[in-house]
Amino acid sequence: MKKQFLLLSFVVMIAACNNTNPLLTEQDTPYGVPAFDKIQLKHYEPAFKEAIAQYQAEIDAICQITNEPTFENTIVALDRSGSLLDKVEGVFFNILEADGNEEMDKIAEKVTPWVTELSDNILLNDQLFNRVKAVYDKRDDLGLNAEQMRLLTETYKSFVQNGANLNPAQKERLRQINQELSLLSLKFGNNVVAETNSIKRFITDESELQGLPESAKAAAKEAAEADGSVTDAWLFSPKRTSFTPVLQYCENRELRKQLLIDYTIRGNRDNENDNKAVINQTMRLRIEKAHLFGYDTPADYILSDCMAHNSQNVNELLHTVWGPSLNAARKEAAELQKLLDQDIAAGKVQINQAEDKKLQPWDWWYYSEKLRKQKYDLNEEELKPYFELSNVRNGVFQLAHNLYGLQFEPLHNMPVYNPEVEVFKVTDDKGNLVGILYTDYFPRAGKRPGAWMNDICHQYVDQNGVDHRPVIINVGNFNRPTKDQPSLLSMDDVETLFHEFGHALHGLMSKATYKSLAGTNVPRDFVEMPSQFMENYCYEPEILRTYAFHYLTGETMPDSLITKINNAKQFNQGFVETELLSASILDMDYHCLSQADTIDVNKFEAESMQKMNMIPQIIVRYRSTFYNHIFTTGYEAGYYSYTWSAVLDADAFAAFKETGDILNPEVAKRFKHLLEQGGTRDAQELWDEFRGRKADPKFLLERKGFID
């Protein structure tokens, strides 16, 4: 019945669209990028219907082949199917995250169950799985090359891990679970966006902003003017670009407290956007799903296909790094407490109760900035004029050229989904097209928080041997330009830009034959390695000199300031790592649950922090109710991957440092080869080939300053 409905929809939509839907017809766009300028809201739903129907028809065609199942007529045909849906999803979900609105949210709520149902129809199709299994069972006799064997193995595993071996009753329940989880994920993310946009704090007395840099005040003033709710005011929100400068520089302790609470209370206010019930239902379903597959916990189920393999290995790594990180954080807290004590003694801090004498989470950033200035004569605001956004981006482009021979050419008059988006053509040292890169760096109401990379179009080689190059997007939420100055970044922002660009390179340089193995289609605890690897470079003096130019004078950052940056590189790393690791451990605590009892989310989180002896002066990086990574973006039981990958990236950078040349062409060639492979080979095998041994955590601990 479902199949008949889909096929009927396919026929109806072909007639109805009459070749006018830009998502369903070939458009004459440069480099085959989507026709963003022609796509309208009305096009999405028909496009999803037709793309789903076409995908189902392609799957039916594979199942109806009467010839013996072969690698080509089954495995390759399966990999090549669904190209139209790839295109539609690549456009819709990227815009939904980066430039969405309520109408798109409603469309997402409608089409997401369709896509989930289709996925289940494919992965739970007995006839199709029998063909896949028939090829897999004779894999050793097929004479396949390494990439072909990888595709076959991963395809078979995907079916098994998604329910192909379950009995009929279990399969039906799995379908229900997957549908519910897909909608819960949407609801969680929408709630976070709604909370972030709805929480506003207006300041009408400028004296309350004492110490706040003029650039931050100007941005807050423009935000208030754009909002229009309150005249002659400064507007602050839970967006990081808004509240972070207040935490760092504002002398008003109460305002710092209010803004940090605004950030951490999102999704936890017992209103229509509250996420506690969403978390409960999500975890109940994830636990039930794990049990369907014979696993005790969601972590056991999820990690079976990662480099870590199981929760024991994850927890072992996390606690290897946790101890040194927490010890460093305690020492840092003691130093910051002394600065607070001095301000109390000088009458600069109002004391209403005994707790006011103790360092609080809303004090950490403020006093760490003071301590940074005291220890290293370094102020974040002193750096920002040298980190103009376009210069930083040009610097990371130059780094990619120096390492891998890539060239980046700005493309004008390209179709974009928002006027702020910029587009670049990427070519290799011989002028061959590598891919197209979109960059979208400024916050807006319809953009979810954070920064990310994604594929708009995948790389693959078609049956005619044509290599289709990828279209990649980098998205951020950096400071907007103001009336008086361009977008200026903090050092953390610079790191983020380098990080996401590392993901982009992983996608751009892909040299896979099959789309399901291309680019960043690798285990989650490996995918962050190429991105974090790029972060190493942003502090290096010879790299800083390629992008750190004063936005007014054009002067290169002086050596004295570069020296200060590197002297302070290990400053506050106890806080940074403790904040990160606590989120990773909280994630594992959720996903190591084996029973679906009702969870008191706030109590569960507090107990998790207590078990790890988290110090009260630091708040976990992501509170449960806005923890998008594990409840929306597919990083459940996977946030540890940032630390797992950090061990790899620190070790990889050491391979360059050991030669005395951070741009060593021979090492760069080997690392480029690793990036180009994508998921065509086992991640551990790729690493061992590059480094010649297992990764050593000592390089990460040394980089953080936790060991000598």
CB 117 within 8 A of CB 175: yes
Q: Is 72 a catalytic residue?
A: no
Out of 332, 369, 500, 636, which one is annotated catalytic? 500
Question: pLDDT tens-digit profile of 363-389?
Answer: 999 999 999 999 999 988 899 999 999
The closest alpha carbon to 539, from 560, 570, 569, 496, belongs to: 569
Instruction: Bin 618: left if φ > 0, else alpha if -120 < ψ < 50, else beta.
Output: beta
Question: pLDDT tens-digit profile of 679-707?
Answer: 999 999 999 999 999 999 999 999 999 99
Sign of the alpha-carbon dihedral angle for 606, 609, 610, 611: positive
Q: Spell out the residues 6+ positions from residue 661 whose beta carbon is closer than 8 angstroms to its own.
A: none
Over 50: is that where the pLDDT of 519 sits? Answer: yes
Question: pLDDT tens-digit profile of 539-588?
Answer: 999 999 999 999 999 999 999 999 999 999 999 999 999 999 999 999 99
- pLDDT confidence of residue 658: 97
Over 90: is that where the pLDDT of 161 sits? Answer: yes
Q: What is the mean pLDDT of residues 61-70?
A: 97
Over 70: is that where the pLDDT of 14 sits? Answer: no
Predicted confidence band at 449 (pLDDT cuts at 50, 70, 90)?
confident
- pLDDT confidence of residue 634: 87
How far apart CA 513 and CA 71 sit, in angstroms, is 14
Structure tokens at 362: 């809303």
- pLDDT confidence of residue 19: 66
- pLDDT confidence of residue 379: 87
Is pTM beyond 0.85 here?
A: yes
* CA 434, chain centre distance (Å): 22
Q: For the chain, list the domains and their CATH numbers.
A: 2-165 (1.10.1370.40), 199-252 (no CATH), 266-374+570-624 (1.10.1370.10), 384-567 (1.10.1370.40)
Strands 422-427 and 433-440 turn out to be antiparallel
Over 80: is that where the pLDDT of 496 sits? Answer: yes
Question: Residues of the chain with pLDDT > 90: what percent?
Answer: 94
The DSSP line for 259-297 is HHHHHHTTT-SSSTT--HHHHHHHHHHHHHHHHHTT-SS
* Mean pLDDT of the chain, nearest integer: 95
DSSP 72: I
3-state helix, strand, coil in the chain (%, to 5): 60, 5, 35
- pLDDT confidence of residue 48: 98
Q: What is the mean pLDDT of residues 197-204?
A: 97
Question: pLDDT tens-digit profile of 77-124?
Answer: 999 999 999 999 999 999 999 999 999 999 999 999 999 999 999 999
